[in-house]
Amino acid sequence: MSPYLLGLRLSGRRVLVVGGGRVAQRRVPALLDAGALVTIVSTSVTHALDDLIASGRVTWEARPYQVGDVDGAWLVQACTDDRAVNTAIAAEAEAKRIWCVRADDKDASAAWTPASGRVGEIGVAITAGGDPQRAAGIRDAVVEALRDGTVDARRSRTKPVGVALVGGGPGDPGLITVRGRQLLAQADVVIADRLAPQALLDELAPDVELIDAAKIPYGRYLAQERINELLVEHAKQGKFVVRLKGGDPFVFGRGGEEMLACAREGIPVVVVPGITSPVAVPGAAGVPVTHRGVSQEFHVISVHVPPGDPASTVNWPNLAHSAGTLVLMMAVERIAVIAETLIREGRSPETPVMVVQDGTLPTQRALYATLTDVAERVTAAGIRPPAIVIVGDVVKVGQEVEMVRAERVP
């Protein structure tokens, strides 16, 4: 007969665990998480259980099981390594109509402990016919699918409201955060940037409204003011809106403006940070932005306006004299004037430079250069945005790693 699955609410209720070994060690934390008042009866306990006892979270009676121990318990876990003792515990519990789980014999057990997991407010419990290994494997698959948003119920009594500003990461769809993917799966409306992971958009449910908020350089352009209006309009209609961005919402992502626009209209906003490309793309290309003995700092600079432009707020002389790594965004089309400015302000013309296009994507490619020849080499290679420019001696670290790997190839 199939078991009748039931979620026990054990808060404030006594649970007896007989045995202090590894099985008890696995089960006690889950009972405590449910708020149970746990009593362990055993002549000895594991170090992990001893820590729980020392903290006062568990009561320990250091002796063998005795008839009468189950009295007052709502649930009993028979976890000893003695089959006869487990049989006696189960028999007493059965006679007193108290549910008992036997760790050693699923067929003789009145109840089974499922393989359980939790993602947010969703609890998962798998029995798999009493096979614990199979149940754990299925549990893990379901929990992982819930975590990454592959499985989720878009309709629920506790549907998210308002707006979520979600950082989609540097491009690879696998680099969005778990929380970001969960919220994306629950969205009614998605307003997506050009640099947001496009593969994730193909996974949206058919009834999700997708709005393209691309800002293509020298091309089509959705004004930021209109994006703010769309966030407010849809949220006021009771829809859950996800603003999906590349990288992180607050790293040159204008997320602060969008959050303020929503706040002025009383719309709740949740911010989900993303993996930002100034760190992720160099890393994906094998270049650390900091390295012991080489660089103790790094600077992230937006070059949407070139050096010398009245609208630029970048202190290029300070950057030129810094020994730190420079990570330049939106710099490819202005690389000549950037290199010229850094050299003129004091950086060595031989400073290593790496330019990475389409970082973290299958189309990723990179070139090495120096400040002297980087503009020429970028033009010759046909490098186009989106690309990240890394300036500094950490580029040599990446080259050294490549050489070491090459030497080890048979």
DSSP codes of every residue in 340-380: HHHHHTT--TT-EEEEEESTTSTT-EEEEEETTTHHHHHHH
Query: C-alpha 151: how far from its chain's center?
Result: 16
DSSP codes of every residue in 123-180: EEEE-GGG-HHHHHHHHHHHHHHHHTTSS--S--TT---SEEEEE-BSS-GGGS-HHH
Phi and psi of 189, rounded to 5°?
-135, 135
Q: Which of 69, 152, 193, 358 is catalytic?
A: 193
Helix (H, G, I), strand (E, B) or coil at 309: coil
CA angle 217/222/224 to nearest 5° reads 100
Catalytic residue check, 248: no
Look at the block and give the residue holding tokens 């013309």: 349
Axis-axis angle for helices 178-185, 132-147 (nearest 10): 80
Task: Give the helix ranges, DSSP H, for 55-169.
Answer: 83-95, 132-147
Do the beta carbons of residue 280 and residue 246 sit within 8 Å? no
CA distance 357 to 222: 24
Catalytic residue check, 193: yes
Residue closest to 396 by CA, chosen among 350, 343, 359: 350
Beta-carbon contacts of residue 4 (< 8 Å; ≥ 6 apart)? none
Q: Token pair of 120, please? A: 């947010």
Residue closest to 325 by CA, chosen among 387, 395, 377: 395
Say how many C-beta atoms besides its own lie within 10 A of residue 268's C-beta: 12
Do the beta carbons of residue 101 and residue 78 sit within 8 Å? yes
User: For the chain, what's the residue count?
Assistant: 410
Read off the amino acid at residue 163: V
CA distance 175 to 361: 11
Q: Which of 106, 215, 239, 396 is catalytic?
A: 215
User: Which amino acids are annotated catalytic?
Assistant: 193, 215
